Amino acid sequence: MRALYKPAAAPGFQLAERPEPAAGPAEVKIRVLRTGICGTDLHIERWDAWAAGAVNAPLVAGHEFCGEVVEVGAAVRDIGVGDLVSGEGHIVCGTCRNCRAGRRHLCIRTSSIGVNRDGAFAEFVVLPESNVWVHHPRIDPDLGAVFDPFGNAVHTALSFPLVGEDVLITGAGPIGLMAAQVARHVGARFVVITDVSSYRLELARTMGVDLALDVSADSIADAQRRLGMVEGFDVALEMSGHPAALPDAIDNLNSGGRIAMLGLPSTPIEIDWGRVVTHMLTIKGVYGREMFETWYAMSAMLRSGLDVSAVVTHRLPATEWADAFAIARSGQCGKVVLDWTEV
């Protein structure tokens, strides 16, 4: 099969011939139709310090995908050949305390496809049945390919009740954009998103936020005044990882405000802990998706009218992977998808 392969612990990928994987007794073999390019994939392609410390090379990268089941193992019960599926990329042990308590997203022995084992940048991928999500048959494969980051957005956005609340989202990348639409769908009052990218801020405006704010020119306090707010935001979703974003959010929260933090900061952040205490703020770290409650919520919201398809702005054949990675790295895009039917 053709696959985007990293043969050694060094920068770059190769579109190479690799052995086609076989499904074990409890596994499912999937013909990949589309894959999404994630920030993690950019780190792996560049082979930066994070990748060198976290990734097991050689390997096939990629963890955001949609495909068609072509083979199931003898012990597979609920998935059939022909199903349109995506996959939860975190494979858990099943026996640690959190797994046994039904908190699989907190497994202490998580193995990630495309990072610790071969992933989905290929014509075929194999996953345990327990990690496969069967889609409604009419879903667009482009959308199915971004269920992983969509799940990040849903997990973060639904960390706290949003009905009637004023929501601040720092970071208008694809996950922030989808989180904004989730917040609107579930009943938030004002949804404000911040960034410094004019492309992504304009995309946010087309996706229905109340205000898309360039924080290099305007402050979040200005946004509050423009919207007629008087007590600060109720909920903040920190998606950017920028060191200024969390302190800025804290300064603009109402007393009792809540922060869900998905963005990974690359440098230490100085926080006014006195304000956190005296304003009784809550800061919650978020990683991945809840298995599988987030997946049920995603599918249910799509079936009830939520439309996040505008977040996919580019689709290229897998043979043009280098161009696709360059677009994703430029930031002048939403989600970039590779088409594996064209290899």
pTM metric for this prediction: 0.95
Radius of gyration over every alpha carbon of the chain, rounded to an integer in angstroms? 20
CB 163 within 8 A of CB 297: no
Active site residue 105: no
Extract the runs of DSSP E, i.e. beta strands, from the chain: 2-6, 14-17, 27-36, 59-60, 64-72, 84-87, 90-91, 111-112, 124-128, 132-134, 167-170, 191-195, 211-214, 233-238, 253-261, 282-285, 312-317, 335-339
Question: Residue 317: what pLDDT?
Answer: 98
The CATH code belonging to domain 2-145+307-339 is: 3.90.180.10
The pLDDT of residue 56 is 86
Per-residue confidence (pLDDT) for residue 266, from 0 to 100:
82
Ramachandran sector of residue 82 (left: φ over 0; alpha: ψ -120 to 50; beta: rest): left
Q: Which residues of the chain have pLDDT under 50?
A: none
**Segments of the chain assigned to CATH 3.90.180.10:** 2-145+307-339
Tell me the residue length of the chain: 343
The CATH homologous superfamily to which domain 152-285 belongs is NAD(P)-binding Rossmann-like Domain (3.40.50.720)
Candidate list 43, 105, 135, 185, residue with the active-site label: 43
Domain with CATH 3.40.50.720 in the chain: 152-285
- The catalytic position among 35, 40, 170, 294 is 40
Q: Is 43 an annotated catalytic residue?
A: yes
Interatomic CA distance for residues 206 and 195, integer angstroms = 15
